[in-house]
Amino acid sequence: MPDPVKREDVECDYLAEGGDDLKQRKRAFLSVDLVHGRMRTYAADEYADTTPALVGCGWHMRWPIPPIDNDRANQLMKAVSDSVDNLFRMTAIRGEEDALGVILYGGAGTSVDLIQRECAEAWRAHYEDRH
């Protein structure tokens, strides 16, 4: 597995501008792949009500987000990108030789909290827009 000190910044998989990709399924998520260093937003019916194994072992982290349009989803990813980069650098992956999981180093919790706050803000704005 990659050494946390040498890990690069996270790659962002932005959605196509002007689309409504996150409004097509049951739930939408902001997801961070801590193994490969990728962030994306996606909508899914599968795993909407259950936790995927990769989230369960900590290799992926995800936060529920409202069914926003692609442009707002991309803005959300830009807003959390520094926190996601820090989270990625402040983790170590435990592989097959150990119990599967992730080690979070000092400072990772702050990044998780800041990502959660941005996702909560997206929910607040979504509900204010609807009323």
Residue given tokens 């609807």 in the structure block: 130
Strand order in the sheet with 11-13: 11-13, 38-44, 27-33, 60-65
Per-residue model confidence (pLDDT) at position 103: 86
Residue ranges covered by each domain of the chain: 4-130
* pLDDT tens track for 39-64: 999 998 776 666 776 776 678 899 99
- Percentage of the chain modeled with pLDDT above 70: 85
Would you state the pLDDT for residue 47? 64
Spell out the residues 6+ positions from residue 54 whose beta carbon is closer than 8 angstroms to its own: 33, 60
Whether the pLDDT of residue 107 is over 60: the answer is yes
pLDDT at 31: 94
Longest dimension (CA), the chain: 52
Stretch 60-85: mean pLDDT, rounded?
95
pLDDT for 98? 67
CA 5, 1, 116, 118 torsion-angle sign: positive
List pLDDT tens digits, range 1-12.
Answer: 444 445 567 888
Q: What's the pLDDT score for residue 5?
A: 40
